[in-house]
Amino acid sequence: MNSRPVYYLGPQGSFTHAAAKQFLPRIMARAAASAPSEDSESTMLRPAEDVTQILEAVNAGQAFGVIAWENNVEGYVVPNIDGLIDAHNVVGCGRLSVAIEFDAFMLPDDASEPKEVTAHPHGLAQCRAFTRQLGLREVPAASNAAACRDITSGQIALGPRICGELYGLVTKQRGVQDYQGSRTDFLLLAPRDEARSLMLGDDKASTEYESVIAFIPLSTGAGVLAGLLDLLRDAGLNMTSFISRPIKGHDGTYSFIATIDAAPWQHDLKTALENIIRRGDWVKTLAVYARQERPDPPVTSWMLPDGGAGGHGSLATHETLTGLQAQFM
């Protein structure tokens, strides 16, 4: 049981691999608590060819898994949401954030002047200032990790920090990405009946939780969504994210994925979920994990985009309302 692997989206050296490394101590600690093990990081962490393979292995109770969940620039990794909705025995039980930073690597003992830069086209696009500064020619690769693995003399490969040690490369420069501050959140996945112990924070009594819940309204008609949210509001629940998605790609059908500040076994959320099920709607818990501290800034006017209408106080001025209408007249 304790020797089950942790699958991540390969190849070795991906950002998901870096996330899996960070999750590993928690999984090993849990395994050690039930039975001591000789397992090492290299035997525990295994690259998967695609996310479907990860979900199937966890669903069958044969593995843990790590998947990308949300990037602060690109938004949710929607196929992974859809996959998790469909994997009935899989639940997220941990969440952590990895900075999307690229280091510039070369072969050890390569004293040549670099002429080329190689990475996945996304990696190349994210490090263009560096590339231009050095006057390098871009060589696209199938992945950043593949670029680091297959690097040749005279090339600079761009990839996550983890690639340096994996492929025995020398770091020429750290953090060469154009945009500072991009990060991706990853979920740790476990079979549903084993997830609970991995969800707990260090201090179990005081842990605050966050849950990701999928809803499919089967009641129809106008205001279905508003009615659903009324039930969450009336339970006093705080939501931090909410999106709609067609069910399995069926145009015109709707599921809703909400991130809520509570665990489904806590009174308020439990009551709300029971009421939603009583309405006849479908509910599934996709993930529960210990909540991280997060900023809670006030929305100030400098944050507002240019243009638009309103936002000037509790009562909009006549000018503002006129402006709204003027947008289309």
Tell me the C-alpha distance between 11 and 149, whole Å.
10
- Single out the residue of 140, 165, 168, 174 in contact with its own copies (rule: CB under 8 A): 140
Site string for its own copies, 41-80 (x = CB under 8 A): -------------------------------xxxxx-xx-
Check residue 280 for interaction with its own copies (CB under 8 A).
Answer: yes
Q: Say if CB 164 and CB 125 are below 8 A apart.
A: no
d(CA 60, CA 62) in angstroms, rounded, equals 5
313 binds its own copies per the rule CB under 8 A: yes
Interaction between residue 294 and its own copies (CB under 8 A): yes
Binding to its own copies (CB under 8 A): which residues in 108-137?
Answer: 120-121, 124
The answer to whether 285 and 193 are in contact (CB under 8 A) is: no
Instruction: Classify 80 as helix, strand or coil.
Output: helix
Give the DSSP H or E segment for 227. Answer: helix 224-234
Count of beta carbons in the 10 Å neighbourhood of residue 23: 24
CA distance 281 to 253: 13
Give Cα separations from 177 to 73, 111, 301 (angstroms). 14, 23, 30
Give, as ranges, the residues between 204 and 233 that touch its own copies (CB under 8 A).
Answer: 214, 216-220, 222-223, 225-227, 229-230, 232-233
Each residue 141-180 as x (binds its own copies by CB under 8 A) or -, in order, gives: xxx-------------------------------------
**Cβ closer to its own copies: 88 or 113?**
88
Q: How far is the CB of 97 from its own copies (least distance, A)?
A: 10
Check residue 200 for interaction with its own copies (CB under 8 A): no
Q: Which stretch binds its own copies (CB under 8 A): 10-18, 101-109, 138-146, 200-208?
A: 138-146
